[in-house]
Amino acid sequence: MPVTAHARPPELSRQRDQRADARRNHDHLLEVARLVVAEQGVGASLRDVARRAEVGLGTLYRHFPTREALLDALLRQGFARLVELADELAATHTAVDALTAWLRELALSAAVYRGLPTALAATLDDPDSALSTACGALRRAGGQLLANAQAEGSVRPDVTGLDVFALATAVAALAEQGPLAERRDHLLGVLFDGLRPGPPLATQPLPRGPRDDAGPPHG
Amino acid sequence: MPVTAHARPPELSRQRDQRADARRNHDHLLEVARLVVAEQGVGASLRDVARRAEVGLGTLYRHFPTREALLDALLRQGFARLVELADELAATHTAVDALTAWLRELALSAAVYRGLPTALAATLDDPDSALSTACGALRRAGGQLLANAQAEGSVRPDVTGLDVFALATAVAALAEQGPLAERRDHLLGVLFDGLRPGPPLATQPLPRGPRDDAGPPHG
DNA sequence: ACCTGAACACCGTTCAAGT
DNA sequence: ACCTGAACACCGTTCAAGT
C-alpha cells in the first residue's frame, strides 16, 4: 500500500490544496458570518454577509453552497464539544444527572443564534441537510446518555433519543420568546420530570379524535 | 339612555357600513387566503393571495393591514370554539382530564396551518400583534383549566398558564417535522406527565452555568 | 370610499465573463 | 482555480392616481 494520502480527512486536505486567496476568503467569510448571524439570527441576509466581507456574492456561494453549509461551519466546533461533553458527563455523573445536564447544555448551545433551535428541529425532517449529519452525532451522543438512564430504570423506557432531542430544542426555541427566557430552566425541569417513570397524569380519554367539522379549508 | 347603537360589536357594524364591493372583496380574500395558507403555511406569499383573488395588492393590504391581521381573521372561529370547549370540558370531565384534553385540542388546532404553532409561540413576545389578543383569550381559557387542576392538587403548582400554553404549541411545532408527526400524542403525554406533582427527576447540579469560553462571536 | 398597480427596496440563486 | 457582479425571479410595503 502506498503511504501517500490514504487517510487524511478530505476537508483538511482540501484546505491544504486551496489557493491562498481562497483560504483567506473562506476564513474571513466565516468570521463575518459569525457576526452577522449573531446580529440577525440564522435567517441572516447572505447578501449582507458577502457585502460586509467585501467579497463577491458568488464567492460566498462557492465556499458555502447553502445557508445550512454556512451554519454547519459556524457550529462545527460547538457541536464537537457537546459530543465530547456527553462522554465526560457519563464518566463523572449518575446516568440521570448526566442526561439532564447534557440536555440543558444542548438547549443552551442551541440558543447561541436566534432561530437556531427551530433550525435544528427542522433538521429532523430532511436528512440531506448540511446540518443534519452534525445533528445526527448530537442525537447519538444524547441517545447514549438516555439509554444509560433507561437501563438503570430511572427514566421511562418509552421515550427515544429523537424525542428528548426534539423536546430540548423545543424548549430552547420557546426560551427565545421574551417572557419565557427566564423560565427556561423551569421548562426544562417540567420536561425532565416528564421523563420520570410512573403512571400517566391523565386517564387520557381523548374526548374525540380529529374533528370532522370545520377543517382549515372550509371552516 | 338612547337605544341606538349602544352595544353592537364594532366589527359587525363596520361590516354593515361597508360598500358592497368592499364586503365582497373582504370575503373573497379570506376564502382565497385560506387556500393559499393551507398550501404554503403561515408564511404564504401575500402577493399570491391577492393575485389568486384577482384583486389589487393594495386591496389586500387595505382589508388586512398585516399578515397577522389576516391570520387572525382566518383563525377567529376556531379560537372561539376552543374557548368554548374549555368550559364544556370543565363541566363534563375531571379537572386533570379537562386540562389535558384541552391542551391536546390546542395542539391539534395549532397544526391546521404549517408554521402556525411557531407563530402562536412568537405571539408571546409582542403583545401588540393582531394575533396576541386572540391568544390572550386562549391562554386565559387554558389557565382556568390549569388552576382547577392545581386547586385539586393533581397538577404541580409551579407551572403557569403561559408555561402550558407554550409547551403545548411547542409540541405542535415539533409534530410538524416528519418523523415526529406520529409521536405527537406521545410527546404530549411526556409533557403532561411533567405536570405531575412529585420530586424532580434530577438532583439538578447543573455542572456549570453559561460557559465562559467560546461564545458565538469568537468561537 | 374603495380599488389599482407601478415603484421602491430588498431577497436568494445562477452563471457568463474575467483574472 | 477562483472571483466578480449583473441578471433573473421573486418578496413585502407604500402611495399617487384613478373610479
Q: Would the CA dihedral through A153, A154, A158, A159 be positive or negative?
A: negative
Q: And the C-alpha cell for B156?
A: 404541580
Q: What is the pLDDT along chain B (219 residues), one digit of tens a residue?
A: 333 333 334 444 455 678 888 899 999 999 999 999 999 999 999 999 999 999 999 999 999 999 999 999 999 999 999 999 999 999 999 999 999 999 999 999 999 999 999 999 999 998 889 999 999 999 999 999 999 999 999 999 999 999 999 999 999 999 999 899 999 999 999 999 999 998 898 775 555 544 443 345 433
Name the E strands within B86-148: none
Residue B184, number of CB atoms within 10 A of its CB: 18
A61 Cβ partners below 8 Å, 6+ apart? none
B29: nt with nearest C1' to CA: C3
In degrees, rounded to 5, the angle at the alpha carbon of residue A63 between the alpha carbons of residues A61 and A69 is: 80
Rg (alpha carbons) of chain A, rounded to whole number? 21
Q: Return the residue matching grid coordinates 452555568.
A: B209
Q: Which CATH architecture has domain B16-65?
A: Orthogonal Bundle (1.10)
Residue in A96, A180, A215 nearest the CB of B124 = A180
Q: Which of B171, B201, B204, B208 to mutate to test the interface with A (most CBs of A within 10 A)?
A: B201
CA at B108, C1' at C19: how many angstroms apart?
A: 58
Interchain pair B216, A113: CB under 8 A: yes
List chain A residues with CB under 8 Å of B203: 97
Smallest CA–CA distance, residue A177 to chain B, in Å, is 5
* Contact of A117 with A169, CB cutoff 8 Å: yes
DSSP string, chain A: ---TTSS--HHHHHHHHS-HHHHHHHHHHHHHHHHHHHHH-TT--HHHHHHHTT--HHHHHHH-SSHHHHHHHHHHHHHHHHHHHHHHHHHHS-HHHHHHHHHHHHHHHHTSSTTHHHHHHHHTT-TTSTTHHHHHHHHHHHHHHHHHHHHHTSS-TT--HHHHHHHHHHHHHHTTSGGGGGGHHHHHHHHHHTTS-S--SS----S-SS-SS--TTT-
Single out the residue of B52, B63, B44 nearest to residue B119, CA to CA: B44
pLDDT in tens, chain A (219 residues): 333 333 334 444 456 678 888 899 999 999 999 999 999 999 999 999 999 999 999 999 999 999 999 999 999 999 999 999 999 999 999 999 999 999 999 999 999 999 999 999 999 998 889 999 999 999 999 999 999 999 999 999 999 999 999 999 999 999 999 899 999 999 999 999 999 998 898 775 555 544 433 345 433
In this predicted structure, what is the pLDDT of residue A59?
97
Q: Do A219 and B77 count as a contact with CB atoms less than 8 A apart? A: yes
Cell representation of residue B56: 389589487
pLDDT single digits (tens) A29-44: 999 999 999 999 999 9
**367539522: which residue's cell?**
A213
Q: Where exactly are the structural domains of chain B?
A: 16-65, 68-198
Through-space separation of residue A116 CA and nucleotide D1 C1' in angstroms: 34
Residue A46: how many CB atoms within 10 A of its CB?
17
Q: How far is the CA of B18 from the C1' of D14 (A)?
A: 23
Nearest to A217 among B38, B104, B155 (CB): B38
Output the pLDDT for position A20.
84
Q: How far apart are the first and last CA of chain A?
A: 70
- Give the right CATH number for A68-198 from 1.10.760.10, 1.10.260.40, 1.10.357.10, 3.30.70.100: 1.10.357.10
CA torsion, ordered B155, B156, B160, B164, to nearest 10 deg: -60
In tens, the pLDDT along A55-66 reads: 999 999 999 999
Q: Which residue is nearest to nucleotide C11 (CA to C1')?
A: A45
pLDDT digits (tens, 9 = 90+) for B76-93: 999 999 999 999 999 999
pLDDT of residue A165: 98
What does the alpha-carbon distance between residue B87 and residue B85 come to, in Å, rounded to a whole number?
A: 5
Q: Answer whether A124's CB lies under 8 Å from A180's CB.
A: no
pTM for this one? 0.88
Interatomic separation, CA of residue A133 and C1' of nucleotide D2, rounded (Å): 28
B30 touches strand C (CB under 7 A): no
Q: Strand C: which positions are within 7 A of a protein CB? A: 1-7, 10-16
